[in-house]
Amino acid sequence: MKIIYAVDGSPHAEAAAELLKKIPFPANTEVIAASVLEEIPLSARAAERVAPHVREEIHQERTDNANALLATACDQLGDQFASVRKTILCGNPAHELTTLAESEGADVVLIGARGLNVLERFLLGSTSEKILHHAPCSVLVAHLVDDSRETTHPPDRLRILVAYDGSPASDEAVDSLTRLPLTDSTEILLLRVHTMVTAFRQDIKQCLSESWRQEELLAREALDAAANRLEAAGFRQVTTRMQDAGDATTKILNVAKGWDADLILAGNTGKSGLDRFLLGSVCKRLTRHAPCSVWVARTKQTADS
């Protein structure tokens, strides 16, 4: 496995490093720590007033700072992964990171949910959102852990909430877990949310209809099949849950918070119709508002080019 880790010195980037150490990736995993130097946005008149040697000094200072951040990141991760190397890129962060992921054949791009409010920044809603849409692989968005939050499980345990809807993308999310050497300290909750039309009491009609009952039966079968795949891969603590809700994202977020999840895993696209997980809606809102980190699973073949 190969992971691109975006480093910018922000607290969320540091949280990403902690997440890298907490998730048991395969022993042969290679990490590429990347820092992107954005171009300084100067007007033509302002650029003319900056002497060439001043530009060089600024660039060198920023490069030295990036090298220091990358060296620290490599030292933190060196003992855990088979290979950790660093690279400095120049240009638009979203473009440079997605291009690097494509050229390296990466499996995951790891970014912080928020970044430094300076030139080298990774802001969710701009850079992070673009990477979510255009990365040729899965994207892992790291959130800061709220130190004041009361946890319901020991810190050495890992709780993963899988937002499952039976689509190929959510099946890929499940399969991505089977490729990780997770231990007995990992708990997995497979959550299936049926979106209800609550206006004008339509939810009652939905629940009473034969088509709805048939859909629920098929959903339960798919959910159980996904759980069986995880158990066959050696995971002992797998539970399933089916719930109805007027808004799928809100339900996922509430369950993640109540269950004290460490990570939400979702497919990048979903089934059409009411019961769907679309990158432009659910995944986008999850990465913005989740109380924990979010992994958006994507197969390389279905990546948005």
Per-10-residue mean pLDDT of the chain, 305 residues long, equals 92 89 90 88 58 76 92 91 93 92 95 61 61 89 74 78 89 91 88 70 58 82 94 91 86 94 85 44 82 86 45
- Say whether both 232 and 136 belong to one domain: no
Q: State residue 85's pLDDT score.
A: 94
Number of domains comprising the chain? 2
- Say whether both 255 and 170 belong to one domain: yes
- Say whether both 228 and 106 belong to one domain: no
- Say whether both 138 and 163 belong to one domain: no
- Say whether both 295 and 256 belong to one domain: yes
Kindly report the CATH number assigned to the domain that includes residue 33: 3.40.50.620
Question: Is 175:227 a contact under the CB 8 Å cutoff?
Answer: no
Q: State residue 300's pLDDT score.
A: 62
Last residue of a domain, one of 142, 171, 189: 142
Expressed as residue numbers, the domain containing 68 is: 2-142
Last residue of a domain, one of 142, 174, 201: 142
- Say whether both 212 and 284 belong to one domain: yes
**Does 245 fall in a domain?**
yes
- Say whether both 166 and 106 belong to one domain: no
For residues 103 and 100, give the distance between their C-alpha atoms in angstroms, rounded to a whole number. 5
Q: State residue 13's pLDDT score.
A: 87
The residue type of 277 is F
Last residue of a domain, one of 110, 142, 174: 142
For residues 90 and 98, give the distance between their C-alpha atoms in angstroms, rounded to a whole number. 13
For residues 161 and 281, give the distance between their C-alpha atoms in angstroms, rounded to a whole number. 18
How many angstroms separate the Cα of 184 from the Cα of each of 133, 143, 156, 158? 33, 24, 11, 9
